[in-house]
Chains A and B, each alone.
Chain A
Amino acid sequence: MEQQPASDPSTAPDPRAASDPRAASDSRGAPDPRVARPPDPRAAIETVFRLESPRVIAAVARVVRDVGIAEELAQDALVAALEQWPRDGVPDNPGAWLTATARHRAVDLVRRRENYARKLQEIGRGLDPAAPPEEPADPDAIDDDLLRLVFTACHPVLSAEARIALTLRLLGGLSTPEIARAFLVPEPTVAQRIVRAKKTLATRNIAFEVPYGPDREARLGSVLDVIYLIFNEGYAATAGDDWLRPALCEDALRLARQLAALMPKEPEVHGLVSLLEFQASRTAARTAPDGRPVLLRDQDRRRWNRMLVARGIAALDRAGAVATGAPGPYALQAAVAACHAHAHTYEDTDWRAIATLYGLLAARTPSPVVELNRAVAVSMADGPGPALEIVDRLVAEPTLRDYHLLPSVRGDLLLRLGRTAEAKAEFERAAELTGNERERELLRARADECRPH
């Protein structure tokens, strides 16, 4: 790396260490002055900005009441930092510096608008005529701003794609090209989604707030769904050549953990964290060295990440500890994942418990996909016959018409019942339906294995 002048006095190495040879010889175990280097200021600033930008945007959005403008002001603060920090040194609390700089500009902007509005004898659209709020003094206020940003980015007036893009951009600190790469869509498409989403929030006058009214549960559900969709896109990529895009899983997991820290009393947030920790624990075992997907039953469970399993269990315990009613859908799915995590083999799994949990889930959020999962558990607890009865009731389900896992599961049950010709046709149909190349290969291989005995 290029040697740059030290910009951060607190972390720059002692200049004597580089020039005084004694410094190198008398200090066993101390940093070797030959490799001690000052940090590259530009890269360090960009890293700090990525970490801090959600908080900066959130703090500013409360002043300007517009996430689009808030993001622009945060970018302005980054430009100011890139100018000033290499010259004057990195401030002791870079996050606070960025927030203060952006908020200062925001207050200026609001005042200019208010003057303008007064001159026009009217108030600008949606603008609070009161003076801008005081700077929040304590970190809790910033946490509240962050939560407002979360709920705004995941607002139900936006399409799912828009919520995802906006959440990754504003809260995950991802750039538009990074989001485009992650979702395998052209960059201008993502850019347009984000622009439109911001415009929708502004024109529909969406309040920058955490909902506490009767719509709170549904609004929180929307937030959790966005994070889960992001995770799933990385976990079982719906398109493309790779079975897994782990970076998206990590982004989602991090968002979920952040949300749990912001809303420690919401059981479903812990439920989502738990579910994602469990699923992420299997990442390494889900892909063979040649990139093929490895199904749960075939996974080498020694490769499951024990730390993530432990975190999943802890999060599920927290969900239970703060719960006031029956478990929600994410906690129930996490409980299913916990059954898998506790089992040493696929066959040893407590399938009856899983079938019960899926029954509870289906009662709470009726869904043919949940029913399909219940059928798999029933097949392990009671055999393929009773499971096939459940699956056959789903064949007519219009929402599952193009869902590749239906013929995939049905093929598996038929194969176990010895009905190989029918099984082969189902696997072939599943292979046609999946959008994932790796999964298609796996399903074709299963179809090829279906030979009459």
Chain B
Amino acid sequence: MPRYLSLVKIDEATAPAEGPSPELMQRMGELIEEVTKAGVMLDTAGLTPSAQGVRAHWEGGKISLTDGPFTESKEVVGGYALMQCKDMAEAIEWTKRFLKVHEEHWTVTCEVREIAEG
């Protein structure tokens, strides 16, 4: 059964400043419990704001470091979920359920990628 990484991307500029509502956190907790109970969730977490992040870049044989926030990108990774699923269709189904937990004023993109095994 392949593993899938769902990279959760948000627009930090438009995301609610007060963070997720208690209701959202409640629904998210229930969903994570459900996905874990299904034997699917291997690991999941949210990330601290990109302001606390650093980009390390390798180009032309040189390393450059850039401190966050990464304002030049509209969307930045805000969290991830590592799931073990039967196929991509199942990974997408769980991802849809993750998205539906959010209120309508959120804009969230999940990039679902299969992990190369071996």
Contact = CB atoms under 8 A, between A and B. Distances in A.
B26 to A, nearest CB: 13
A109 to B, nearest CB: 28
B39 A253 contact: yes
Interface of B (DSSP majority class): mixed
Nearest to B99: A11
Contacts of B1: 246-247, 250-251, 253-254
A47 B39 contact: no
- Counting contact residues on chain A (CB < 8 A from B), the size range is 35 or more
- Counting contact residues on chain B (CB < 8 A from A), the size range is 20 to 34
Interface in B59-118: 73-75, 82, 84, 86-87, 89-90, 92-93, 96, 99-100, 109, 117-118
Contacts of B87: 47
Given A11-B96, A11-B99, A30-B109, A261 B37 contact: yes
Interface string A297-310: 00000000001000
Given A28-B73, A29-B9, A247-B1, A47 B90 contact: yes
B75 A30 contact: yes
A311 to B, nearest CB: 7
B23 interface: no
Interface of A (DSSP majority class): helix
B38 A307 contact: no
B36 interface: yes
A143 B33 CA distance: 12
B47 interface: no
Contacts of B38: 51, 254, 258
Interface of B: 1, 9, 11, 30, 34, 36-40, 42-43, 73-75, 82, 84, 86-87, 89-90, 92-93, 96, 99-100, 109, 117-118
Given A29-B74, A30-B109, 10 more contacts: A10-B100, A11-B100, A28-B73, A29-B109, A39-B92, A51-B90, A143-B37, A254-B1, A284-B118, A307-B82
Interface of A: 8, 10-11, 27-31, 39, 43-44, 46-48, 50-51, 92, 139, 143, 173, 246-247, 250-251, 253-258, 261-262, 284, 307, 311
